[in-house]
Amino acid sequence: MKSTLIDLTSRLQAALIAAFGSELAQTDPILVPTQNPKFGDYQANVAMSLAKPLRQKPREIAVQIVEHLDVSGLCEPPEIAGPGFINLKLKTDYLTAQLKTMQKSDRLAVEAVKQPQKVIVDFSSPNIAKEMHVGHLRSTIIGDSLARTLAFLGHDVLRLNHVGDWGTQFGMLITHLRQVCPEALTSSEAVDLGDLVAFYKEAKQRFDQDEAFKAASREAVVELQSGGEEALRAWQILCEQSRREFQKIYDRLNIQITERGESFYNPLLPDVVKDLKSLELLETDQGAEVVFLTGFTNKEGNPQPLIIQKSNGGYNYATTDLAAIRYRIQRDEADRIIYVTDAGQANHFMQIFQVARRAGWLPDTVEVVHVPFGLVQGEDGKKFKTRSGETVRLRDLLDEAVKRARQDVEQRIQAEGRSETPEFIQQVAEKVGIGAVKYADLSQNRTSDYIFSFDKMLALQGNTAPYMLYAYVRVQGISRKGGIDFSQLGTDAPVILADEAEFAIAKHLLQFDETLAAVEQELLPNRLCQYLFELSQKYNQFYDRCDVLQAAEPQRTSRLILCDLTARTLKLGLSLLGIEVLERM
């Protein structure tokens, strides 16, 4: 099914070309869905921007566009309003035909992209032996949603976990391990080191206080880098332990991701230096090998250097990212690379992109995007911390969300006088709790900081996961009550739109593919959240105004089709956010 917005836009462009020639045809989106039915369903305000180049009044321009505009299959005759807006109102026949097409398609008639890209989404990417903190949680949730949406649209998506699994911090970790758990290094079985974050803290403390420990740590870094067997074994033990901890979080959040940590690129680092040198991009600055950046200056106003190789021969976070970008383009053949990290890393990525471009590793045909997000704050607007001032462990955060969700379910079940099994309650609590955490994050414009509030995210009212899940459950309730199998609803039965609430849902349903196309471009999952929220609201209005099971045929079946389409859109849309629906809650 052609997207209504895309279809209308191309017709409008054709009219522009026919009226004024191709020089003036605009490629920008020139059509927007309207919120006010007075202005039809879509409004074009292209005439105003053409007034100057054409030296004509906008209204006259609009008249000429409309003369050449063929929207007869889709819209009522276009109307010109105000200074030159063109208002388009969708025909009821068109709406009902599109809905029937959606009904018959198991992907709700969302077309797969014509030119699938190889897309890499670099997300989550926590650091070994360090806390996987709320920033990584944001990256995980946002990255997963983008990956799901792009894959659904037909792209070939590679999800990469750029784990911080290399660096000088391993010197102290290995030294600490050798001293507190030497048996780990000789045992062939997996060893449990307990809480690795506490382990990291102990190691760090000794490193800061004990000169001999510090010296041994430096020694261990050299051993590790030169491939010393025992040091490598210790490194592996630390990575495995961390990996197990990370995996627990991924399982709970239902995240699929391929680990390709920083260490993967180690063998490629010397070539980065060598090739930058032969391209004459590298300069020696205070003993280090650097690239002087354009557009980045230091305090004195001089070009800022990006260190590629330190004076002691070591490499940096940036060196690894240069090796990674090159590998992803040359070996993975990526067309688009998306990096999901906090906004604080924006400069880092701009610098990587610049150097890769100047080195000729990043051609214009490849799009690289940093997808930044803001900070997670506590309800006091300060950094998100526990009451005692510690960083919040993700495991505890998810447990708390599920615990609170369980209290809510238990209360509701009791108030409704229902009796449910403990398994049912547990399952609902888990899905609502996890879904609420994800949705709270995704529904914000990711570029702003966001305030973490269990109360808000678990509320049954408002732009929350429980609200959306509940709308879905409502539809399933109708199917249970009426003994209706939605999948068996007549494909030949007509959709009849009469009530304004029915029109509102119908038009909104048609905008699903436009919304996904917007997410694909802008990489803003909150667009999809907003869409689903409005769909739930429209459904609830319809539910309040229109009888479904009590209605007479053929209206009854038509309304059931609207219910089914709403439920399937909610289910699919939520799944692209990584949220699972419930049949009952």
Q: Which of 41, 131, 144, 321 binds ligand ARG (CB under 6 A)?
A: 321
Question: Does the footprint of ligand ARG cover residue 125 (CB under 6 A)?
Answer: yes
- Helix boundaries (H) for 418-554: 422-442, 454-458, 465-482, 500-510, 512-522, 525-545
Question: Does the footprint of ligand ARG cover residue 246 (CB under 6 A)?
Answer: no
Q: Which of 87, 341, 444, 558 binds ligand ARG (CB under 6 A)?
A: 341
Question: Does the footprint of ligand ARG cover residue 531 (CB under 6 A)?
Answer: no
What's the closest the beta carbon of residue 134 comes to ligand ARG, in angstroms?
12
Alpha-carbon distance 378 to 381, whole Å? Answer: 5
Structure token digits, residue 316: 């940096």
Give the sign of the dihedral formed by CA 323, CA 326, CA 330, CA 331: positive
DSSP code, position 391: B
Which DSSP string do the residues of 421-445 spell out, in sequence order? -HHHHHHHHHHHHHHHHHHHHHTS-
What's the closest the beta carbon of residue 164 comes to ligand ARG, in angstroms?
4
Question: Does the footprint of ligand ARG cover residue 122 (CB under 6 A)?
Answer: yes
**Which CB, 127 or 149, lies closer to ligand ARG?**
127
Question: Does the footprint of ligand ARG cover residue 260 (CB under 6 A)?
Answer: no
- Report the DSSP beta bridge partners of residue 31: 44
Specify the stretch interacting with ligand ARG by CB under 6 A; choose among 38-46, 121-129, 379-387, 555-563. Answer: 121-129
**Which CB, 324 or 334, lies closer to ligand ARG?**
324
What's the closest the beta carbon of residue 124 comes to ligand ARG, in angstroms?
8
Q: Which of 117, 127, 145, 242 binds ligand ARG (CB under 6 A)?
A: 127
Query: What's the burial of 225, exposed, middle or buried (CB within 10 Å: 0-12/13-18/19+)?
Result: middle
What's the closest the beta carbon of residue 263 comes to ligand ARG, in angstroms?
12
| Site size for ligand ARG (CB under 6 A) | 10
DSSP code, position 25: -
**Which CB, 164 or 171, lies closer to ligand ARG?**
164
Question: Does the footprint of ligand ARG cover residue 162 (CB under 6 A)?
Answer: yes
Q: How many CA atoms lie within 13 A of 339 on its CB side?
A: 22
Query: SS3 sequence, 50-86?
Result: HHHHHCCCHHHHHHHHHHHCCCCCCECCCEEECCCEE
Alpha-carbon distance 18 to 68, whole Å? Answer: 7
What's the closest the beta carbon of residue 189 comes to ligand ARG, in angstroms?
29
What's the closest the beta carbon of residue 376 comes to ligand ARG, in angstroms?
14
**Which CB, 357 or 406, lies closer to ligand ARG?**
357
Phi/psi of residue 114, nearest 5 degrees? -75, -35
What's the closest the beta carbon of residue 20 comes to ligand ARG, in angstroms?
46
What's the closest the beta carbon of residue 160 comes to ligand ARG, in angstroms?
8
Specify the stretch interacting with ligand ARG by CB under 6 A; choose among 99-107, 118-126, 250-258, 425-433. Answer: 118-126
Question: Does the footprint of ligand ARG cover residue 164 (CB under 6 A)?
Answer: yes
What's the closest the beta carbon of residue 122 comes to ligand ARG, in angstroms?
5
Phi/psi of residue 30, nearest 5 degrees? -120, 10
Q: Which of 199, 339, 353, 531 binds ligand ARG (CB under 6 A)?
A: 339
User: What spatial distance separates the first Cα and last Cα of the chain, rounded to whole Å?
Assistant: 34
**Which CB, 135 or 435, lies closer to ligand ARG?**
135
Q: Which of 464, 465, 560 is nearest to 505 (CA)?
A: 560
Bridge pairing between strands 156-161 and 118-122: parallel
**Which CB, 441 or 502, lies closer to ligand ARG?**
441
What's the closest the beta carbon of residue 146 comes to ligand ARG, in angstroms?
14
Place of tokens 């045909």: 365
Residues between 485 and 504 with contacts to ligand ARG, criterion CB under 6 A? none
* Contact predicate 522/338, CB 8 Å: no
Question: Does the footprint of ligand ARG cover residue 373 (CB under 6 A)?
Answer: no
Q: C-alpha distances in angstroms, 153 versus 7, 98, 218, 539?
A: 18, 19, 49, 25
Q: Which residues bind ligand ARG (CB under 6 A)?
A: 122, 125-127, 162, 164, 321, 324, 339, 341
